[in-house]
Chains A and B, each alone.
Chain A
């Protein structure tokens, strides 16, 4: 006896749901597999690149050997870039990519990307041009690493596929919408209308002849995904035989940052690789501190209030904490007492008062006895760097007896 139409539809729906669940599971498994694989490949690659670097530094290397070593290092880094692409893609697909906007000197960042292609462009006799509209602020708040990654992919593609003419990188800014635009304009072969939608899909280089140009074919797919994750988008306009324009648009509010006069002075000092926790309820203050410190390769973490700060300080080790005094909830002084009282990785680490309370140059130190120094707001970059360097150097030489691991 044939099933009734409703029963048949019900059965089909059930099958469909089961198929969807299986497809989701397969996608999840694939992302997981790719993440694991890229980690496994990365470890031996670290050795390849690291040893090539060690070898390249040897003074007794002859010219040929030097060239071979440079090749090994270069190929290792190229392979690492591919592995990173795979990892990025799997993270994007699983919705796990982290976007970290911060104050960025966007014109410099874009120009640096373009400069990376000076050599390949010169070899092909194509011109590289850079244009920035006057409206582009000196600093905007955007994830600089991801922006750089997208521009690298767009400019890299343009240079790869253009055989004569020029590649132009043009920055623009819509102040009302607080959106940054970056157009990469080439005079390459162009992309036919029916193929335009496909260029942002994974593993789709336009035809067999273009795949010979190398690359994973993931660059544009990843760039598109990153732009979306950052709240923006990439659009493409093109004419066959005339060239293509890729237009990236991103939300990027203007940021104010003090530029430090002489960065060279501190770099090989105690600051490199330092881990600093910046605690302030005002996001702008955290951003300014981060922007300055990151110029010196300091690794910055942030907490927006006292409770957050205590919680983070109990979990992860920092070399120094910059602690705002006045915060809603748990104030700076109480947060410091809590960090000192409870056994944790930062119980004996230097903490600087991050304070706007004092009008003069020097706050009343009787009032700051729990702290190992201070940084005044508004931040003066050199004073902040000096205070941090000083506190870390003092700490390394005369550290308090640290009850760290034993007390746990």
Chain B
């Protein structure tokens, strides 16, 4: 799904408290040619945003502890790494989507989603982004 001229794999942080969902999304993304790091809650997500500087994030809204809204709010602070973010919401919840967008999320996807939709929306997250700086690639991203 990535443009051909962009040779470096994009690095994506996947955040969900449900391990099976994290695993499912990461597997799909890795097969799709992305590099993936994962976090299970909002605090871990903030730590990885800072340390790994991913180029995009997939963020579950409903999480115990610091939820997706909390992460988005934190990302609005100055000097915080804030990559384009796609939020995962429950079906039938337009309110959550609008709130996440107001807080700066770039896109949304309702659970359950199908693979094609996931990959299509993720590829659109990189709209307008400059080509990846492959040189300064931090560790901890899984490759194929």
Contacts and interface: CB of A to CB of B under 8 A. Distances in A.
A183 interface: no
Contacts of B92: 35, 91
Contact of A42 (B112, B115, B121): B112
Interface majority SS (helix, strand, loop, mixed), chain A: helix
B20 A396 contact: no
Contacts of B103: 408
A35 B93 CA distance: 12
Given A315-B101, A316-B97, A404 B106 contact: yes
B47 interface: no
A348 B128 CA distance: 10
B18 A43 contact: yes
A53 B115 contact: yes
Given A273-B116, A316-B98, A43 B106 contact: no
A397 B111 contact: no
Contact of B20 (A47, A395, A405): A47
B40 interface: no
Interface string B82-110: 10100000111000011001111111100
A319 B128 contact: no
Contacts of A404: 104, 106
B144 interface: no
A39 interface: yes
B101 A50 contact: no
Contact of B21 (A35, A46, A315): A46
A207 B97 CA distance: 45
A396 B5 CA distance: 12
With a 10 A CB-CB cut-off, give which of A42, A50, A54, A315 has the most chain B CB atoms.
A50
Nearest to A50: B24
B107 A317 contact: yes
- The 8 A-B pairs of least Cβ separation, nearest first, read A399-B128, A273-B120, A47-B20, A405-B104, A46-B112, A50-B24, A273-B117, A402-B128
11 contacts: A46-B21, A46-B111, A46-B112, A47-B23, A272-B120, A273-B120, A317-B106, A402-B127, A405-B76, A405-B106, A408-B76
